[in-house]
Amino acid sequence: MTATCLASTGNSVIGVDIDAQKVRALAAGKCPIFEPGLEELMQAQLAAGRLSFTTDVGQAVRQSAVIFIAVGTPPRNDGSADLSNVEAIISGIAPYMDSSRVIVIKSTVPVGTGQRMSDLLMDLTAHPFSLVSNPEFLKEGAALEDFLRPDRVVIGSDDPDAIQMLTELYAPFVRTPQTILVMSREAAEMVKYTSNAYLATRISFINEIADICAATGVDIAEVCNGIGADRRIGRDFLNPGVGYGGSCFPKDVQALIQVASHAGCQANILRSVHERNEHQKLALAEMVLRRFGNDLTGLTFALWGLAFKPNTDDVREAPAIRVIQRLAAAGAQLRCYDPRACRNAAAMFPENAAIAFVDDPYDAVQGADGLLILTEWSEFRTPSFDRMRSQLRQRVIFDGRNLYQLATMQRQRMEYYSIGRPGILPPTKPNNSHAKGLGSSSAAGVMET
> Per-residue pLDDT for the chain (449 aa), expressed as one digit of tens each?
999 999 999 999 999 999 999 999 999 999 999 999 999 999 999 999 999 999 999 999 999 999 999 999 999 999 999 999 999 999 999 999 999 999 999 999 999 999 999 999 999 999 999 999 999 999 999 999 999 999 999 999 999 999 999 999 999 999 888 899 999 999 999 999 999 999 999 999 999 999 999 999 999 999 999 999 999 999 999 999 999 999 999 999 999 999 999 999 999 999 999 999 999 999 999 999 999 999 999 999 999 999 999 999 999 999 999 999 999 999 999 999 999 999 999 999 998 999 999 999 999 999 999 999 999 999 999 999 999 999 999 999 999 999 999 999 999 999 999 999 999 997 665 445 454 556 432 233 444 43
b/e per residue, 243-262, with b = 16+ CB within 10 A?
bbbbbbbbbbbbbbbbbeee
- Whether 43 is in a domain gets the answer yes
User: At 100, which helix (H) or strand (E)?
Assistant: none
Question: Are 313 and 436 part of one and the same domain?
Answer: yes
Alpha-carbon distance of 142 to 336, in angstroms, equals 24
Count of structural domains within the chain = 2
pTM: 0.92
Q: Where are the alpha helices (DSSP H) in 231-356?
A: 249-262, 268-280, 283-292, 319-329, 342-346
Question: Which of 175, 191, 207 is the endpoint of a domain?
Answer: 191
DSSP bridge pairs for 446: 424
168 and 32 in a common domain: yes
Query: Helix (H, G, I), strand (E, B), or coil: what is residue 129?
Result: strand
Report, as residue numbers or ranges, the catalytic residues: 248
pLDDT of residue 175: 85
Residues 180 and 287 in one domain: no
Residue ending a domain, among 167, 191, 215, is 191
For 49: left if phi > 0, alpha if psi spans -120 to 50, otherwise beta; the answer is left
Instruction: Indicate whether 318 and 184 sit together in one domain.
Output: no
CA 397, CA 409: separation in Å to the nearest integer?
9
Q: Confirm whether 31 is domain-assigned.
A: yes
CATH number of the domain encompassing residue 287: 3.40.50.720
Residues 166 and 288 in one domain: no
Q: Decide if 390 is inside a domain.
A: yes
Domain stop point among 146, 169, 191: 191
Max intra-chain CA distance, the chain: 80
For residues 170 and 288, membership in a common domain is answered with no
Range of the domain at 177: 2-191
